[in-house]
Chains A and B, each alone.
Chain A
Amino acid sequence: MKLFEMTQGEFLVLRPAGQLTSATSAEFEKEVRSRIEAGNRRVVLDLADLDYISSAGLRVLLVLAKLLKRDNGTLAVCAMNETVTQVFEVTGLSSILATHQTLNEAIAAE
């Protein structure tokens, strides 16, 4: 999985591309964890290039959200496609994580 990274002010913006499934979620979790451990506390996941997400991917997002919450940080997601949005809605993840239409909205709201 490709993971693009940039910072906007105090926010770390990560943009995974492809699929977040059991095949890619372990590597993705490791990459994001390393950045959190390096001191990043305000993380935004820009999911515009994420084709779909499986239960393994959902689990990773929950783990990362809990990790940041424990350290008084925040995790927000934005720009999901229709397939990913549906998964967020039917599983109730959209009521647990802060979700936004665009990256700018995510940064403004957080």
Chain B
Amino acid sequence: MRKPARRPSNLIASVDDPISLPMAVGMGVQHCFAMSSGLVLAALIAYAATDSVDVASNLVRVSMIAAGLGTILQSLKRGPVGSGYLCPNLPGPTFYPASLLAAQTGGLSLVFGMTLLAGLFQALLSRIIHRLRALLPPEVTGVIVAMVGISLIGPGISSIAGIAPGDTQSTALETFAGVSTLLVMFGLSVWGTPFMRLYCVLIGVAFGYALEFGLQIVPNAVVDEFRDSGLFSVPDIGLPVAMSFDATLILPFLIAGIASTVKAVGDLSTAQKINDEDWVAPEMRSIRKGVLADALAVISSAVMGGMGQATSSSNLGVALATGVTSRWIGFSAGAIFILAAFVPALAHVFVLMPGPVKGAVLVFVACFMIVSGMQLVMSRLMDTRKIFVVGASIIAGLSVDILPSLYADLDPTLGSLAASSLSLATVTAIGLNLIFRIGVKRRADFVLEPDEDREAAVVKFLHDKGALWGARRDIIQHATTALVEFVEASARTGSLTEDIRIDAHFDQFRLDIFIHYTGPALPLPEAAPSLADMDDEADQMQRLSGFLIRSAATKAEATRRDNQNTLHLLFEH
């Protein structure tokens, strides 16, 4: 039975709570700071295709508009789009490897075209995401999230060392500035006051800028660009923006779309969990609408001339740390981020950010993503199947970075699978998970005989099998409640003199129980009979039993042929 969400006691304002305008603005600004960490990626992609500061600035500003729009759409509760949760967007790390490849091979027009394809693919995925749970268990999603973080290591570390396109020389001063900036972020995050922890990235970036200027390693051209950036201008929104397409990049971008969708499912599940003390499993209806909002953010970004978007895990951290998760903050943060895109000086903070400071931000973000992925992986008990899915896919992904020459001569289609470590790890994890599903389904049946203690027998059966199959305790408890109730009901109708056969099927996502019995069919009313008017009539008690069975299961269905009844109970796992 799905209960209404129970508000956790640690929240000051939960998702449905209205908040004051000052709080909406204050919290909105905080979330904008967290969202801005992804803007470094947009700047890096732009510089892979062009040397123009104006073009890079515009890509960042358009990406800000798309992220703001996505954040607002995500907060919508009614209608077909939006999960109704505070779960802001940012230029997505999941799109970074594929977008970088596109920028290097075909320029920004190729980035926009392929991002549009990925967004449309995500929109399609949002329609069927509830049917894909079996393909994306936590060990697969965890590997993908961890590999997104791992894919940031290369650009992060080389930027810290001051290495960039056209500048392959690292200097000791640049490395010192990058490492110092990173250590300041770490220090603020670990030992800082709550205020410092919230703004550790922003304070770290400010420190990095100050150090770079102090050490006089910022090129004069950058200083001039900053001086010339205005306080207001309208970004150049394409409509229609120039787009191009490349068949060899379809796979990397589809994988980026899958990775973003997986990340959105994970982030939205976290948002649900933060807002419900009794949360046990994702509510897929709101997640479907949330993934669609995410897809629309990607599509709108591509159409306007921005980079791919994704939901932001670090913003969920901000929401949890502040104890304010009202969806109204999504509206304010989105609006503020869009307005900020009209201030070129703000975009220039990210566009002109010195390499070592950019690198520090990337490594800081990568730390969280890698550990979040590992936590997801370890949220389930590991068996040999899961060990190979996780281990082999990480090895495959890392081999792309460690031994790139292995994949250099592959056919272009096959080679696109190994376009990045994220790409190959994702394909390997999904593929191995599919293969290892063979034989994963468990089944057991038994017969309740007339002369045994049937209640004790069903309790023992379910508890023994539940332990053997690694089923969740609360699911076995619900199933036990339903079966004990059925035994009571069968005793009232006299079916106790007949055999009752029970089939149980289990995989990692559902427990199906089929009860085969003879005699009168048990009613399964949708509403509870009135207990206040209840006397000892067997008919009323049967209706109460049927209602309790229906309530305990996710779904209950009765079929009858001749005198034979089958009651199918589904418990989602």
A59 CB–B CB distance under 8 Å: yes
The CA of A42 and the CA of B274, in the complex, are separated in Å by: 41
Q: Say which residue of B3, B455, B485, B531 sits within 8 Å of A93 (CB atoms).
A: B531
Q: Say which residue of B278, B530, B548 sits within 8 Å of A87 (CB atoms).
A: B548
Binary interface profile of B, 441-477, with partner A (CB < 8 Å = 1, else 0)? 0000000000001011000000000000000001001
The CA of A56 and the CA of B541, in the complex, are separated in Å by: 8
**Contact, CB under 8 Å: B528 / A90:** yes
Binary interface profile of B, 336-373, with partner A (CB < 8 Å = 1, else 0)? 00000000000000000000000000000000000000
B540 to chain A, nearest CB (A): 9
A92 CB–B CB distance under 8 Å: yes
B480 CB–A CB distance under 8 Å: yes
B1 CB–A CB distance under 8 Å: yes
A71 CB–B CB distance under 8 Å: no
**Contact, CB under 8 Å: A91 / B528:** yes
Q: Closest residue to B481 on the A side, CB-wise? A: A52
Q: Closest residue to A89 on the B side, CB-wise? A: B3
**Contact, CB under 8 Å: A86 / B3:** yes
Q: Say which residue of B278, B485, B548 sits within 8 Å of A82 (CB atoms).
A: B278
**Contact, CB under 8 Å: A62 / B531:** yes
A23 CB–B CB distance under 8 Å: yes
**Contact, CB under 8 Å: A90 / B1:** yes
Q: Say which residue of B456, B528, B536 sits within 8 Å of A59 (CB atoms).
A: B536
Q: Closest residue to B548 on the A side, CB-wise? A: A55
A20 to chain B, nearest CB (A): 10
A90 to chain B, nearest CB (A): 5
The CA of A103 and the CA of B3, in the complex, are separated in Å by: 25
Instruction: Note all chain A residues with C-beta closer than 8 A to B474.
Output: 82
B545 CB–A CB distance under 8 Å: yes
Given contacts A92-B530, A96-B532, contact A52 B455 (CB under 8 A): no
Binary interface profile of B, 472-491, with partner A (CB < 8 Å = 1, else 0)? 00100110110011011101
Instruction: Note all chain B residues with C-beta closer than 8 A to A91.
Output: 528, 531, 544, 547-548
**Contact, CB under 8 Å: B484 / A58:** no
**Contact, CB under 8 Å: A55 / B541:** yes
**Contact, CB under 8 Å: A55 / B545:** yes
Given contacts A21-B455, A59-B541, A91-B547, contact A54 B528 (CB under 8 A): no
**Contact, CB under 8 Å: A92 / B477:** no
CB contact list, B543-561 vs A, under 8 A: 544-545, 547-548, 551
Q: Say which residue of B3, B481, B484, B534 sits within 8 Å of A62 (CB atoms).
A: B534
CB contact list, B512-531 vs A, under 8 A: 528, 530-531
**Contact, CB under 8 Å: A23 / B481:** no
Instruction: Note all chain A residues with C-beta closer than 8 A to B456.
Output: 23
The CA of A42 and the CA of B453, in the complex, are separated in Å by: 35
A22 CB–B CB distance under 8 Å: yes
Instruction: Note all chain B residues with C-beta closer than 8 A to A93.
Output: 531
A19 CB–B CB distance under 8 Å: yes
Instruction: Note all chain B residues with C-beta closer than 8 A to A86.
Output: 1, 3, 551
CB contact list, A41-91 vs B, under 8 A: 51-52, 54-56, 58-59, 62, 82-83, 86-87, 89-91
Instruction: Note all chain B residues with C-beta closer than 8 A to A55.
Output: 485, 488-489, 541, 544-545, 548
**Contact, CB under 8 Å: B531 / A23:** no
Instruction: Note all chain A residues with C-beta closer than 8 A to B536.
Output: 59
Instruction: Note all chain B residues with C-beta closer than 8 A to A89.
Output: 3
Given contacts A54-B488, A62-B534, contact A22 B278 (CB under 8 A): no
Binary interface profile of A, 26-48, with partner B (CB < 8 Å = 1, else 0)? 00000000000000000000000
The CA of A55 and the CA of B486, in the complex, are separated in Å by: 10
Q: Closest residue to B543 on the A side, CB-wise? A: A55
Instruction: Note all chain B residues with C-beta closer than 8 A to A54.
Output: 481, 484-485, 488, 545, 548
The CA of A22 and the CA of B371, in the complex, are separated in Å by: 50
A46 to chain B, nearest CB (A): 20
**Contact, CB under 8 Å: B484 / A92:** no
**Contact, CB under 8 Å: B548 / A22:** no
CB contact list, B485-499 vs A, under 8 A: 485, 487-489, 491
**Contact, CB under 8 Å: B531 / A22:** no
**Contact, CB under 8 Å: B530 / A83:** no
B466 to chain A, nearest CB (A): 14
A13 to chain B, nearest CB (A): 24
Q: Closest residue to B549 on the A side, CB-wise? A: A55
Q: Closest residue to A83 on the B side, CB-wise? A: B477
B542 to chain A, nearest CB (A): 9
A82 to chain B, nearest CB (A): 7
Instruction: Note all chain B residues with C-beta closer than 8 A to A83.
Output: 477-478, 481
- The residue in B474, B491, B534 that gathers the most chain A C-beta atoms within 10 A of its C-beta is B534
Q: Closest residue to A57 on the B side, CB-wise? A: B488
Instruction: Note all chain A residues with C-beta closer than 8 A to B551.
Output: 86-87, 90
Instruction: Note all chain A residues with C-beta closer than 8 A to B480.
Output: 52
The CA of A96 and the CA of B533, in the complex, are separated in Å by: 11
Instruction: Note all chain A residues with C-beta closer than 8 A to B541.
Output: 55-56, 59
Q: Closest residue to B478 on the A side, CB-wise? A: A83
Q: Closest residue to B491 on the A side, CB-wise? A: A22
B419 to chain A, nearest CB (A): 48
Known: A55-B489, A55-B545. 20 other contacts (CB 8 A): A19-B484, A21-B484, A21-B488, A22-B488, A22-B491, A51-B477, A54-B488, A54-B548, A58-B531, A82-B278, A83-B478, A86-B3, A90-B547, A90-B548, A91-B528, A91-B531, A92-B528, A92-B532, A93-B531, A96-B531
Binding site for A on B (CB under 8 A): 1, 3, 278, 453, 455-456, 474, 477-478, 480-481, 484-485, 487-489, 491, 528, 530-532, 534, 536, 541, 544-545, 547-548, 551
In the A-B complex, the 4 residue pairs with the closest CB atoms: A55-B544, A22-B488, A55-B545, A90-B551
Binding site for B on A (CB under 8 A): 19, 21-23, 51-52, 54-56, 58-59, 62, 82-83, 86-87, 89-93, 96
A selection of 20 A-B contacts at a CB cut-off of 8 Å is A19-B455, A21-B455, A21-B488, A22-B455, A22-B487, A23-B453, A23-B455, A52-B481, A54-B481, A54-B488, A55-B544, A55-B545, A82-B474, A83-B481, A86-B1, A90-B528, A90-B547, A91-B548, A92-B532, A93-B531
